[in-house]
Amino acid sequence: MIAKSIKYFGHELILICDGKCSKAFGFNGRPKNQLSKDEDDYEYLSDDELPTAPQDPGTYEGRDAKPTSPQSRLNKWCARECERAIKMESNKWFILPDFSKRKPNYSKRQI
């Protein structure tokens, strides 16, 4: 797990992720399984079901792309696009996204 203090839309937050950049596709690029005709009703596939993520998934935040080295981690791409990262206020309890199993998009589908 890695963490960094950031300023996000004028608020002081902490960006936290599991550091598994090789499995980070980004919210818009992570392969998913459609669950119904509703386009927003899907589940992300688990890490074990997927190959290594592309080094450049083709999404950018400002000038920041998906990190390619440990030194470039926790940049704007991580804060806005990475499905493995969370933003939170300090001293709060948190749970990182778990991609060891499929992760539903709708919270009502979560077990």
Gyration radius of the chain over CA positions: 14
Residue 39 lies in a domain: yes
Residue 72 lies in a domain: yes
| The predicted structure's pLDDT at residue 95 | 87
Residue 55 lies in a domain: yes
Residue 6, CA distances (Å) to 31, 34, 62 in order? 28, 34, 16
Residues 55-106 have pLDDT tens digits of: 999 999 989 999 999 999 999 999 999 999 999 988 788 889 999 999 998 7
Residue 18 lies in a domain: yes
| The predicted structure's pLDDT at residue 108 | 58
Domain that holds residue 20: 2-106
Q: How many domains does the chain have?
A: 1
Residue 111 lies in a domain: no
Note if the pTM is more than 0.75. yes
